[in-house]
Amino acid sequence: MKTNRRKRLVTGVSFLIISSVLLSACNSSPQATESNSRGAPSGTTTTTEPAKKPDPVQIKGIANLYNQAPAKDSVFWKQMEKEFNVDYSVDWVPADNYQQKLDLVLASGDIPDLMQITNTTAPSVLKAVKAGAFWDLTPYLGDFSKYPNFKKYTNQNAWTLSKVSGKNYFVPRTRGNLDSAVFIRQDWLDKLNLKAPTTLEEFANVVKTIAKSDPDGNGKIDTIGVIPNAGYFAAAFGTRDPVRDSSGGIIHANLTSNYADYVAYMRDLYQAGAIPKEFALINGTQQEEMFMTGRSATFVKNAWHKYRMEQENQKTQPGAKVTLLPYLKGPKGFAHIYDLGYFGGMAISKKVDEKKMLRILDFLNATSDEKYYNFVNFGIEGVHYVLKDGFPSLTDAGKKEVNSSFNAPFIFSTAEFAKVDSPLAPMSYNLQTREEMKVLYKIDAKIELFNVLQSDAWSTAWSKFKDEFASMEAKAISGAISMDDFKAFQAKMLENPDVKKSAGEFAKSYEEFFGKK
C-alpha cells in the first residue's frame, strides 16, 4: 500500500457513520440476515418489513497478550460488539507463553471458536490442521466475491504463503513487509565516540566496547551489549538461502553450517562479555524491560516501538536517544527481518457448525474493511485517539488502553507502515522512521523460509528435540560445549529418519510455493 493510500485510510475513518457499511458486508453470507418480505394479493399495496437483524453471534476466542488486555466491559469493546453484531469473549494469554498454551489447547481438542495463530507452520498447528481441527475455508472464500474486503484490502500474497497443502485454513493477519529492527542507544554511541554499525563486524566491536564501558554512568561495568536473536542475526550467515542435501532435499536452516556460523558469532560476543551469562533465561518481556530501563544497549523490536523506547529511557537518563539498525551486512547476506506480509492468522474451529462459521467469516471480512483500520488498531476516535496531520495520536485514555495486544483478536486491512508508525509519536518522527526502514527495500527481500515451508516429518522430529536443540545452542554460545560438539549434534540430528524425510518434504513444499529453483 502506498503512502497516499495510507493517508486516505487514516483521514477517512469516521467510526460512528459506517454501520451501513458493516450491514452490507454482513449480507455477503446468506446466513447474515433474514428477510421478512412477502407477496400481497392483487389490488392491495405491497409492503416490505425491514430486515430483521440477527442476534449477535457468540464467539469464544484466544489471543496473545503483550500488555494489558482491553476489558470486555470497556467502551471500546462494547462499541466493537455493537458495530459488528458479535458477543466476543477472548482468553488472553501472555505472549511469551502463547505458543505453549496453543500447543496444550490443540492437544486437548477443546478448541475455541476462533484462534489467533501466531505461527502457521508450528508443528502443533500443522498437526491440528491435518487432524481436521479447523475449517477448510478454501471453497467458501472462492474468488472472494462474497468477501470483497479480503480481496481489496488485504495482502494477497499472504493468502498463498499461509496455505497448508494448498488450502486456506487461516485468515491471514496481513501487513506490510517492514517490521522489526535492532534498537541501539545512540547517546551511548556518542558518549563513547562510536559510529552506528552497518556490518556485523562493526556491531560486534560496538557492543563489546559498550559492555566494557560505563555508558549509563552508574560506576559499574554492568551494561548488556546484546542478547542472541536468530530471527534477526542468523540471516547474515545465509540461513535464508535453501541448503540442499545430496538428493536435492532442503535441510532445515537450524541444522546447517550457516546456522552454526551464527552460533559461533554469538559465542565470540559472549566470551567478550557482551552477552549476559543468564541470557538463555531472559524472555522477550524481560529483554524489553532491560532496554527501557537502560540496562541493555540493544534490543530487537518492531520499529514502531522506537519512540516509546526513547521516551521510557529518558525517564531514567535524560537525553537518551534510540537509533534503528534496519540491517547489518554479514558474510553471506544481511541480518534483518523482512516480513512475510502477514503475522499468523485466525483459524475457525471445526466444532462450530457451518452457519456459525460463515458468520465468523463475515465478521473477519467486516473488520478488514479499510474504514475500520484505525478503530481496531487505535480505538474510538475522540476517545482513544485524535487525528493530527493525518496520523492517529493517542489520547490519555488511549495511552492506557491501546497497546500491542489491542488488535490481536481481529483481522484488519493491510497498511504498509503498520509496524513502523507509532501512535504516540508526532508525524515528523514517524516519517523519519519510515525513511530509515524503507532502506530494506533496497537490500533484499529474503524471508524466513521455514516460516512458510512445511513438513510433517520435521514437525514430528522437532517436537522431540527442539528443547535439546535450544539447550545445545545455549551451551555452545556460553562455552559449556565446543563448536565441534554443537556441529556434531547437528550432524546427529541429520541422521534422524524423520529429519532425513523432512528434506524431501521441504523441497516439495518449496516448489509448491516458489517454483523450481
Identify the pLDDT of residue 137.
98
Identity of the amino acid at 64:
N
Identify the pLDDT of residue 404.
64
Tens of pLDDT, residue by residue over 59-81, are 999 999 987 888 899 999 999 99
Return the SS3 of 251.
strand
Least confident of 149-153, 475-479, 513-517: 513-517
Tens of pLDDT, residue by residue over 335-371, are 999 999 999 999 999 999 999 999 999 999 999 999 9
Q: Which residue from 1, 3, 7 is spatially nearest to 391, judged by alpha carbons?
A: 7
Tens of pLDDT, residue by residue over 391-434, are 888 899 888 888 767 899 999 999 999 899 998 899 999 999 99
Identify the pLDDT of residue 185.
98
43/373: higher pLDDT: 373
Q: What is the mean pLDDT of residues 190-199?
A: 98
C-alpha cell at 335: 541480518
Distance CA 487, CA 464 (A): 19
| pTM (predicted TM-score) | 0.78
pLDDT surpassing 50 at residue 274: yes
Q: Which residue from 289, 306, 274, 286 is spatially nearest to 183, judged by alpha carbons?
A: 306
Identify the pLDDT of residue 17.
32
Contact indicator for 362, 84 with CB cutoff of 8 Å: no
Identify the pLDDT of residue 164.
93
Q: What is the mean pLDDT of residues 459-484?
A: 96
Q: What is the mean pLDDT of residues 133-144?
A: 98
Distance CA 345, CA 302 (A): 18
Identity of the amino acid at 20:
S
Q: What is the mean pLDDT of residues 258-267?
A: 98
Radius of gyration of the chain measured on its C-alpha atoms:
25
Strand 391-394, strand 385-388: pairing: antiparallel
Confidence of residue 96 (pLDDT cuts 50, 70, 90): confident
Identify the pLDDT of residue 48.
55
464/403: higher pLDDT: 464
Tens of pLDDT, residue by residue over 227-253, are 999 999 999 999 999 999 999 999 999
Return the SS3 of 148.
helix
Identify the pLDDT of residue 188.
98
Strand 114-117, strand 57-65: pairing: parallel
In Å, what is the CA distance from 397 to each residue of 13, 49, 383, 388, 403?
A: 19, 42, 7, 16, 11
Distance CA 350, CA 483 (A): 46
In Å, what is the CA distance from 382 to each residue of 69, 82, 371, 376, 386?
A: 20, 18, 16, 14, 5
Identify the pLDDT of residue 14.
36
Tens of pLDDT, residue by residue over 17-58, are 333 333 333 333 333 333 233 222 333 334 456 668 899 999
Identify the pLDDT of residue 50.
62
Distance CA 148, CA 156 (A): 12
C-alpha cell at 97: 507463553
pLDDT surpassing 90 at residue 499: yes
Q: Which residue from 210, 240, 237, 241 is spatially nearest to 226, judged by alpha carbons?
A: 210
Q: Which residue from 483, 162, 188 is spatially nearest to 316, judged by alpha carbons?
A: 188
pLDDT surpassing 90 at residue 3: no
What does pLDDT average to over the chain?
89
DSSP 28-58: TSTTS-B-------TTS----PPPBPPPPEE
In Å, what is the CA distance from 407 to each residue of 133, 191, 254?
A: 24, 39, 32
- Within 293-407, residue ranges assigned H as helices are 306-316, 354-367, 373-378, 396-401
Tens of pLDDT, residue by residue over 473-493, are 999 999 999 999 999 999 999
Identify the pLDDT of residue 400.
84
Sorted by where each starts, the structural domains of the chain and their CATH numbers stand as 57-177+340-419 (3.40.190.10), 184-337+446-514 (3.40.190.10)
C-alpha neighbours within 13 Å on the C-beta side of residue 59: 32
C-alpha neighbours within 13 Å on the C-beta side of residue 12: 12
